């Protein structure tokens, strides 16, 4: 984690922004006290398209609740 004063952030914002883009958090200090924390955005997780995967595997087949219960009881 990096530290910068408000003056440093104002003077070299692009430099501070490069730290953040590199994945670092930056503590911003005013008179030695923490006043802000600037961090990179959270990485979003890309989930697979589960519905499309099910349709590729099973097509549009739908099991009735009775058939589902029967399969469950067999196992």
The pLDDT of residue 60 is: 83
| CATH code of the domain containing 9 | 3.40.1620
Please, what is the average pLDDT of the chain? 91
Our count of domains for the chain comes to: 1
- Tell me how far apart the alpha carbons of residues 75 and 71 are, in angstroms, rounded to a whole number: 7
Calculate what percentage of the chain has a pLDDT beyond 70. Answer: 100
Q: Is residue 43 part of a domain?
A: no
What are the phi and psi torsion angles at 3 (to 5°)? -125, 145
Q: Is residue 15 part of a domain?
A: yes
CB crowding 42-74: b at 16 or more within 10 Å, else e:
eeeeeeeeeeeeeeeeeeeeeeeeeeeeeeeee
Q: Is residue 61 part of a domain?
A: no
Per-residue model confidence as pLDDT tens digits over 61-71: 878 888 889 98
Q: Is residue 65 part of a domain?
A: no
Q: Is residue 69 part of a domain?
A: no
Which residues span the domain enclosing 32? 2-38
């Amino acid at each position: 984690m990096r530290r910068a004063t408000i003056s440093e952030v104002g003077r070299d914002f692009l430099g501070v922004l490069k730290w953040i883009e590199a994945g670092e958090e930056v503590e911003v200090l005013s008179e030695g006290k923490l006043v802000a924390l600037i961090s990179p955005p959270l990485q979003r997780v890309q989930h697979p398209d589960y519905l499309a995967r099910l349709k590729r595997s099973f097509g549009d087949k739908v099991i009735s609740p009775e058939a589902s219960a029967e399969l469950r009881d067999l196992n």
